[in-house]
Every structure is written in C-alpha cells, then in structure tokens.
Amino acid sequence: MAELVSLQEAVAAVVKDGDSVALEGFTHLIPFAAGHELLRQGRRELELIRMTPDLLYDQMIGVGAARKLVFSYGGNPGVGSLHRFRDAIEHGWPGPLEVEEHSHAGMANRYVAGASKLPFMVMRGYSGTDLVAHTNVRQIACPFTGELLTAVPALNPDVAIVHAQEADRDGNVQLWGIPGVQKEAVLAADRSLVTVERIVERLEPRPGGVVIPGWVIDYVAHAPGGSQPSYALGITERDNDFYREWDVISRDREQFQVWMQAHVLGGEGA
C-alpha cells in the first residue's frame, strides 16, 4: 500500500547510489520535480532508463549523476540536440557514459516483459539494422512457423518514478492524456514512486483515465507542477518556450552548470 510522504522523504526512500532508475513519461507527465530532488540529494552512479531522455536526463547526465543510459531517442523534441547527452557521449564530459540503446518498440516491449515478469518479449524489428550488433537483443524462431523474430530482454528497474494528475489518500493514482509506458514502468520496477499534482478525496473516473492502484505503488508524493516544463494534461501546459531556451542554456558547459546551481541544485528542498 502506497505511503503518502513528502517528495524529499520519498526520493530518499526509493533511490540509492548505483540504482537502475526509470523516470518515465512520454513527452507528457515527465517527473522533473522528483528527478531534481534526486540530484539535490546527490545520487550518483545511476543507470538511467528512459525511452526519451528529454531535458530531464540531459540535466542528470550533465551534472554527472549517471553511469549508464538506457534509451531509444535522445533528442530535444522539435528543437534539436540534447547537448549534455551529446557532450557526454562525444567527449566523455563530465565523465564516461555507458550507452545501451534500443528502438521505441523495443523499449516498450522490454517494459511489457518487465511488467509481466517474463524474461523477454517477442517482436518484429531490429533485424537488418546496425543496432543488432550494438545492443542486447537476440533472434528467436517461431516454434509454429519457423519465422525468425527478435527477442528483447525484460526491463525491471530497481526504481520507477512517474508523475500523475492525482492520487487519493490510499495512494491510488489516476493519470490521463498520453499514458506512455508509465503503468508498465511502475509494475516492472522493484520500488516505485508516483508524484502527483493534487491529492483528492476520491478518484473520479475520467475519459482516458489510467488508474494504478495504491497497492502496487510504494510511495506517493504531492508535487504540484512536478512535471514542468513538461505538463500534466488539464492542469499545467507544456512550456515549449523553455524547451527552446534549453537549447541555448545547455549548449555551453559553464552556462549549464550555473543554471543548474541556480534553478535546481540550490533550489527549494536543497
């Protein structure tokens, strides 16, 4: 049963140095507040897992919190490059970053396998591309037709952190809008934290509502605005201007560090 605690307590309880951590949210509901708190708490050597690293992982990589990145698309959507991600891979700054990359379909099915507690999932994909030689997939033959398909290994992160619109006092969570792979990430992980825009007396069923019951979640923390500059549909709006500004802020190492110190590391909750 999910415990309702503060963001600081929740992050301290679920993330340790060296953990594999999935902060998910596909463009929508990206858990920035939790990621920032994790940086303020000084977590290091993390294996960061996310389909779309986005600005949040650019920040986490840039301050040197990550040992490894598992991902499928490392861009600033609609804007261009993630400069800290590129700098880490191209120049090893601020330190070496191990990379394990997949396609979106592969990552999604890895989460499905993880949520199903199966060791792998079967799909069509990867074959004939150079990704096969650079990642952890295997060929598998259909036992009925003989067709060769691709097996992707399950993702079962130590920790999953996602953001949602609301939770009730029993820690039942509801999110709506683009649902991404959040349910799968929570079900696949050993430990989980859901940050929410608001705590409500009762979850009212909504169109497109995805409910995650409190008894499969470890912690719920109230973090209004906690997915900004991403957004929580119906409550906050995506700050597209900031996504564009980030292209400038993150281009230069020093400017990035100054910004992070001013806006994240020295910020509230530090």
Partner 1 sequence: MSAVAPDSGYTTGELQTIVAARSLAGKRSCFIGVGRPSTAALLARIVHNPKLVLVYESGTIGAKPHRVPLSIGDGELAQTADLVVSVPEMFNYWIGPGQVQVAFLGAAQVDRHANLNSTVIGDYDHPRTRLPGAGGAPEIATGCAEVVVIAPHGRRTFVERLDFMTTRGERTTLVITDLGVLEPRDGELTLTTLHPGVTVEQVQEATGWDLRVADQIAVSPQPSERELAALRELVNR
231: partner contacted, choices its own copies, partner 1, none (Cβ within 5-8 A by kind): partner 1
Q: Does the protein bind partner 1 through residue 128 (CB under 8 A)?
A: yes
d(CA 156, CA 108): 12
- Size, binding site for partner 1 by CB under 8 A: 64
* Least distance CB 166 / its own copies (angstroms): 14
Rounded to 5 degrees, what are φ and ψ at 62? -65, -35
d(CA 92, CA 95): 5
Whose tokens are 């792998």? That residue is 120
* DSSP string computed for 78-117: TTEE-HHHHHHHHH--SS--EEEE--HHHHHHHHHHHHTT
201: partner contacted, choices partner 1, its own copies, none (Cβ within 5-8 A by kind): none
Strands 173-175 and 80-81: unpaired
Rule CB under 8 A: choose which of 142, 148, 215, 255 binds partner 1: 215
d(CA 266, CA 246): 18
Start-to-end C-alpha separation, the chain: 28
* Least distance CB 136 / its own copies (angstroms): 8
**Interacting span for partner 1 (CB under 8 A) from 26-34, 39-47, 157-165, 261-269:** 26-34
* Least distance CB 215 / its own copies (angstroms): 20
**Interacting span for partner 1 (CB under 8 A) from 12-20, 126-134, 190-198, 261-269:** 126-134
* Touching partner 1, residues 57-116 (CB under 8 A): 71-75, 77-79, 81-82, 85-86, 89-90, 101-105, 108-109, 111-112, 115-116
Sheet hosting strand 148-153, strand order edge to edge: 120-123, 148-153, 138-141
User: Under DSSP, is residue 229 helix (H, G, I), strand (E, B) or coil?
Assistant: coil
Residues at the site binding partner 1, with contacts judged by CB under 8 A? 1, 26-28, 51-52, 71-75, 77-79, 81-82, 85-86, 89-90, 101-105, 108-109, 111-112, 115-118, 123-126, 128-131, 134, 172, 177-181, 183-184, 187, 203, 208, 211-213, 215-216, 231, 233, 237-238, 240, 243
